[in-house]
Amino acid sequence: MDHYSRKMHKFFTLLDADGDDVLTLADFTAAANRAATAFGWSPASDESIAIRQSYTALWQEVYAPMDLDGDAGLDFHEYLTAHRKTILGLPDGYQRVQPVAQAFLQLADTDGDGVLTRAEYVTTMNSAFGLPEEDGEHAFDQLDAANAGALSFGEVHRAVEGYFCSEDPAAYGSALLGRI
Ligand SMILES: [Ca+2]
Ligand SMILES: [Ca+2]
Ligand SMILES: [Ca+2]
């Protein structure tokens, strides 16, 4: 697999919460519930309802349209084909994947100061996307290039764009999810 395919496969695997190699709405519901549990929210709380809505929207707006054969499941081939065709290298490609960054930022800045500390980044990547903490630590080291100890929202958007919209292994954001 080339670098871009490996990056996409890594995120596909994280999204596939039940591990059956197909993305469906059920994976996004499971991921929302996993994150709510990690944050200590009760299932009926406003926070839990909001995160389920946000993950459902993520499925409906970003991923369901990539289901080319209409079987309500997205396999890796469909996922990769769609990313290459509609996200990679198109001028407005980032617009299609931006909701992923928004869903993450909405959860991650837990103290609301407008930047993400290492702990906020690592913990939220773990609870929101199931990213192992050592991958989160590696990612933060790479993304915090200036050693500021925190990432701005702009840096996170730029990193997500570099991850999904570039084939260059040296692009900023290549290490968004740790080592590839
Ligand atoms: Ca699945
Ligand atoms: Ca399909
Ligand atoms: Ca913060």
pLDDT, tens digit (0-9, with 9 covering 90-100), for 31-64: 999 999 999 999 999 999 999 999 999 999 999 9
Domain boundary assignment for the chain: 3-165
Confidence of residue 90 (pLDDT cuts 50, 70, 90): confident
Cα pseudo-dihedral 8, 14, 16, 20, rounded to 10: 90
- Name the closest ligand to CA 79: 2
The crossing angle, in degrees rounded to 10, of helices 153-165 and 93-108 is 140
22 three-state secondary structure? strand
Quote the pLDDT of residue 106.
Answer: 86
Going from the Cα of 27 to the center of ligand 2, the distance in angstroms, rounded, reads 14
Ligand nearest to the CA of 64: 2
Helix (H/G/I), strand (E/B), else coil: 151:
strand
- Show the tokens assigned to 161: 């764009």
Q: How far is the CA of 74 from the centre of ligand 3 (A)?
A: 34
pLDDT, one tens digit per residue, over 122-142 is 999 999 999 999 999 999 999
Cα 178 to ligand 2 centroid, rounded to whole Å: 28
Closest CA to 8 of 63, 65, 69: 63
DSSP single-letter state for residue 130: -
Chain center to CA of 46: 22
> Which CATH code, of 2.60.40.10, 1.20.1250.20, 3.30.1490.20, 1.10.238.10, is assigned to 3-165?
1.10.238.10
Q: How far is the CA of 127 from the centre of ligand 3 (A)?
A: 16
Please identify every residue whose CB atom is under 5 Å from ligand 3, which is an ion.
109, 111, 113
Going by their DSSP bridges, the two strands 22-23 and 74-75 should be labelled as antiparallel
Percent of the chain scored above 70 by pLDDT? 100
pLDDT band at 102 (very low <50, low <70, confident <90, very high): confident
Between the CA of 145 and the centroid of ligand 1 the distance, in Å, is: 34
pLDDT, position 119: 97
